[in-house]
Structure 1
Amino acid sequence: MNIIIAILIFSVLIVIHELGHFLLAKSNGIYVTEFSIGMGPRILSMVKTVKGYRLRAFMTPGDFAAANRELEATVYSIKLLPIGGSCMMLGEDENVEDERAFNKKGVWGRISVVLAGPIFNFVLALILALIIVGMRGYDPAKVVNVATPAKEAGLQDGDVITQINGKHINLARELDLYLFVNPLSEASVNLTYVRDGKKHTATVNPEYIKDYKLGFYYDDGNSTAIKDVIDDYPMKAAGLQKGDIITEINGTGVQKKDDIMNYFKQNPMTGEVINITYTRDGVSNTASVTPKLTGQGYSMGFSIDGRRVKTNGVGVVKYSIAEVKYVIVYTIDSLKMLATHQVKANDLSGPIGIVDMIGSIYKDSAPDGFVTVFLSLASFSILLSANLGVMNLLPIPALDGGRLVFLIIEVFRGKPVDQNKEGIVHMVGFIALMILMVFVMFNDLSRIF
C-alpha cells in the first residue's frame, strides 16, 4: 500500500509539472512530440490517425518516430516505470529548421515554457493548502506556558506572535523554522504579538536552561489519559502505557490535561524523580519516573501551542499562501544549511526515504479514517510539490533552472549559446545528478535497514 500511494503522489506531482511545460509549449506554438507518464518503454500510447485517435500497445522507437514524422501530432504515452514523466518538444535539444521548434521561438516564450513546470508545482501546493486550511484551519504562533523571561517582558498565555526580530510570522511552524535557522543566544529578541486584537511589542532576554521530558503524548480533549508513550523515554521505561489515566503527580491530584500542564508550569522538571500515580483497568498504580535531559540552551520562556484554528474565507487564502511560502523558505533554508555543513549530506532523503515517510504517515493517520489520511498525505504533498518546484529552479545543468541560466545568458548576449556546448553541459549535469541519486538511495537504504 505504501508503494502504491507513493507512486500515485509522485505521478500527480510530476504530471502537473510536465503539464505546465506542455500547456505553455502549446500556447507558444511549439510542437510537442510526446507527453508521457512514467519512464522506460511505452506500454500504451494514444496516436492520432486520419480517422481520429487510437490506442497502440508497446509502441517501438521506430513506430514513435514514424508517428511524429508522418502525422506531426503529439503522442500521449504511459510508460513501464511509474515514476517520472516527460514533455518532449521539437528542437528542445537540437537545432531544428522548423518554425514550430522550441529553438525557433523567442527567448521569452522559451523562458515561459521552462518556468511553467515549477510554477505549476507551486500552484498545486497552493490548491492543496487551500483544501487543508479550509478544512482544518491554520496554526497561529500562540504563546503558552509563559515562564520568567517572557513574563518579565510582559507576555501572557494566549498572546499570538506576529514578528520576531522583524521577521513576519503567520504560522507557528514559521517561528519554529526561524529559531532552528537562527538559534537563540544571550542576545535579546524583539517580538511583536497580538493580544485582544491589539499589537504590542516586547524585548525578551533569553535565559540558559536545561530541557527535561517524560516522553508521552496527551490524549485528545482535556482528559489526563495518555495518548501514547515514546520509545527510549522514561515514561515507557517506567511501565506506563497508552490509555493509562494520570491521577496524581508527586501527590498533587490532577483531573484534566490543563492540571498536568499547570503543575509542570509551576514545578519545572529537573533530574529529580517524579512519582506519577495512574489507573489502568480500574487499578491504581504509582511509578517513579526520572525525567530525561533532551537538550539545553537558551529559552525565551514560553512554548507555542501549534494546534490549528479555523478561519474565514479571506483567512483561508492568506494562510494557504503562508503555508506554501513556509515550505518554499524551509526548502531554501535547508539547502543553505546543507551548503554550510549545518546539515549533513547523510541527512538527505530520496525516493526510498520518501516512500518510507509516506508509509509512516499512512500508518499513523489510518486509524482516524479516510479524511485524516487524505489531509495528512495532502500536507506532505505540499512539501513535495513545493520542493520539486524549488529544486527545478536551481541553476543546475539538466534541470529547468540550468536551462533558464542559458536562456538568461541569451537575453543579455542577444543570441543563443551554441546548442552543442549547452547539450554537453546538461549531459555532465545529468550524470552528476545520477551519481547524487545513487548516493541518496544508499543513504535511504542504510537508514531503513
Structure 2
Amino acid sequence: MQAAIAFILVFGSIVFFHELGHFIFAKRSGILVREFAIGFGPKIIGITKGETLYTIRLLPMGGYVRMAGEDMDTTELQPGYRIGFLLNDQDEMSRIVLNQNKQLPDMLFLEVEKADLLKGLWVEGYDEDENLVRYNVARDAVIEENGQQTIIAPYDRTFNAKSLGKRAMTIFAGPLFNFILAIVFFMIIGLVQGIPTNEPIIANVVKDSPAQQAGMQKDDLVVSVDGKSISKWEQLSEVIQSSANKPIDLEVKRDGKIVPIEVTPKAAEVNKEKVGQIGIQYANTYEKNPLKAIPYGFEQTYNWIVKIAELLGLLVTGHFTLDALSGPVGIYKATEEVAKYGFMTLMNWAAVLSINLGIMNLLPLPALDGGRLLFFGYEAVRGKPIDKQKEGMVHFVGFALLMVLMIAVTWNDIQKFFF
C-alpha cells in the first residue's frame, strides 16, 4: 500500500505538472481547452469546470491536454440536419440539439441549409413554416448530441489559429514545467536536508589499504594534493584515480593541525580501465543555508539533464540497450525501493524522473512534444505549415509505435520483476 501511494504521488505529480504547463500556456494564449487528462484509456473520474473536462483515466502512462482545433475537433452541421435550438437574449443560438428525442421549453427547430460554426458563427436553414432564415451562433454555444455536450470553438480560440510562437510555447511548456518541478524539489531538499558540501572528509579507512599504511585516519580533511589546494571530494578522487602506482603528496587537517602524508594509489581495474585506489570512503556532510538552496536546485537540475543526455547518447550509439529501459512497472518497482529510504530520497527520485520525462518529451519523435516542435521549426523555415492531414498521420503512426514500445517495455518489466 505504501508503495502504491508513493508511486501515485511521484508519477502523478510529474505528469500533472507536465500537463499543467501545456494547460496554462494554452489558456494564456486564448485556446479553448476541452480536456485535462491524467492517464490514457477509459475514464475513471471526470469533472467539468467551466469549459474544461478534468479526468483521471485508467492507464497510468502519461496524460494529455486536448485543445480545440486538434485531432478532428471541429463540429459541422451538414445540409439536411434537423436541429433543435435555444436562443439567448441577443437572439443567438446558445444551445443546439442534434437528436430530436430531447424536447426543451422554448425550443425552436430548423432544417440546416448551410452553417459556419468556425469563423462566421451562423446557421442558415428552413424553419417550421419553411421560411429560409439565418441565426447567429453565440461564441460559447453548446452542441448536444446523445447526451454529450460540446462547446463550439470559434476559429480564434483554436490551437491552429494562434501564432507560431504561441503554439510552440504551449507545446514546450510541458517539458519546461517538468524542469521547473525538479528545480523546486531540489530546492526543498536543499532547505530541509541541507546542501552537500562535498568536502574531502574521510569517513572510513579500509584496513590494510594504502591509505591506512600511509597513516590516514577517519575524519581527516584533505586540504591539498601535490601542493595544490582542494575543497571538493571530486578533486581528490580525480587525482587518486589518475595516479595508479604513482606516489602523491597530501596534506590533511587533523585536530586543527596540518599533517603531511605520502600515499601511493594501488592500480585496480574498473570498467576495463586501470584506476588508482587508496581505500578511503567519502563522508556526506550537509550545510543548511537557504540562500544556497536556490542555486542548488538549478545546479542539480542542470547536472541531471547532462547525465540523462549522455545516457541517451549511449543508447543511440548502441552502448546502452533497450533492456535497460523501464516503463510504468519498472518505475513502480524502483519507487517502491526508493520509498524505503524516506521522503527526501523519494523527492529526489521524483525530481530525477521529472527531468527524465521532460527530456524524453523533447526528443524529435512523432507524437512527442519534440516531434511537434520539429514541425514548428519546419514551418518557421518554410514560411507556412505542413498539411495538417499529413502531420496528423505522422503523429498517429508515431503514437501507435510509441504505444507498441511502451507495451514491449512494460512486458519486459513484468518478466524482469515477476518471473
Q: Summarize the Cα distance change of 1:171–1:423 in structure 2 as closer, same or farther, 3 Å threshold.
A: farther
**1:397 aligned counterpart, secondary structure:** coil
- For the residues of structure 1 that align with 2:232 and 2:46, how far apart are their CA atoms? 45
- For the residues of structure 1 that align with 2:303 and 2:412, how far apart are their CA atoms? 26
What whole-Å deviation, never above 9, does each CA across 1:390-410 have from its counterpart, x for those lacking one? Answer: 111111110000000001111
8 Å contact 1:36–1:86 — kept in the other structure? yes
Give the Å deviation of 1:324.
1.1
What whole-Å deviation, never above 9, does each CA across 1:24-75 have from its counterpart, x for those lacking one? Answer: 0000011111112333233433335xxxx6xxxxxxxxxxxxxxxxxxx222
Partner of 2:268: 210
Q: So what's the TM-score if we normalise by structure 1?
A: 0.60
Counterpart amino acid of residue 381 in structure 1: A
- For the residues of structure 2 that align with 1:175 and 1:438, how far apart are their CA atoms? 44
Q: So what's the TM-score if we normalise by structure 2?
A: 0.64
Identity across aligned pairs (percent)? 37
8 Å contact 1:327–1:382 — kept in the other structure? no
Partner of 1:112: 169
What whole-Å deviation, never above 9, does each CA across 1:293-352 have from its counterpart, x for those lacking one? Answer: 998721265756261411422221122211111221121111111222222221112111
Partner of 2:193: 136
Give the Å deviation of 1:376.
1.5
- For the residues of structure 2 that align with 1:16 and 1:170, how far apart are their CA atoms? 37
**1:395 aligned counterpart, secondary structure:** coil
Partner of 1:340: 317
- Counterparts of 1:39-188 in structure 2, within 5 Å, are 39-47=40-48, 73-94=51-72, 97=118, 98-143=155-200, 144=202, 158-159=221-222
Partner of 1:406: 375
8 Å contact 1:94–1:419 — kept in the other structure? no
Alignment counterpart, residue 387 of structure 1, candidates 337, 356, 362? 356
Alpha carbon RMSD of aligned pairs, Å? 3.8
- For the residues of structure 1 that align with 2:283 and 2:350, how far apart are their CA atoms? 20
8 Å contact 2:172–2:369 — kept in the other structure? yes
Partner of 2:302: 325
Partner of 2:23: 22
Counterpart amino acid of residue 382 in structure 2: R
8 Å contact 2:266–2:277 — kept in the other structure? no
- For the residues of structure 2 that align with 1:78 and 1:418, how far apart are their CA atoms? 32
Q: Summarize the Cα distance change of 1:31–1:158 in structure 2 as closer, same or farther, 3 Å threshold.
A: same
The structure where helix makes up a greater share of residues is 1
8 Å contact 2:267–2:275 — kept in the other structure? yes
Alignment counterpart, residue 395 of structure 2, candidates 426, 431, 439? 426
Counterpart amino acid of residue 377 in structure 2: I
8 Å contact 1:139–1:309 — kept in the other structure? yes
**1:434 aligned counterpart, secondary structure:** helix
Matched, 1:358 2:358: no
- For the residues of structure 1 that align with 2:381 and 2:231, how far apart are their CA atoms? 39
Counterpart amino acid of residue 55 in structure 2: S
Give the Å deviation of 1:9.
1.7
Give the Å deviation of 1:160.
7.9
- For the residues of structure 2 that align with 1:304 and 1:413, how far apart are their CA atoms? 57
8 Å contact 1:10–1:83 — kept in the other structure? no
- For the residues of structure 2 that align with 1:95 and 1:426, how far apart are their CA atoms? 16
Quick check: which has more Rg, 1 or 2?
A: 2
8 Å contact 2:182–2:301 — kept in the other structure? yes
- For the residues of structure 2 that align with 1:108 and 1:171, how far apart are their CA atoms? 43
- Counterparts of 1:221-260 in structure 2, within 5 Å, are none
What whole-Å deviation, never above 9, does each CA across 1:220-263 have from its counterpart, x for those lacking one? Answer: xxxxxxxxxxxxxxxxxxxxxxxxxxxxxxxxxxxxxxxxxxxx
8 Å contact 1:139–1:171 — kept in the other structure? no
8 Å contact 1:136–1:308 — kept in the other structure? no
Q: How many residues align?
A: 307
Give the Å deviation of 1:184.
6.5
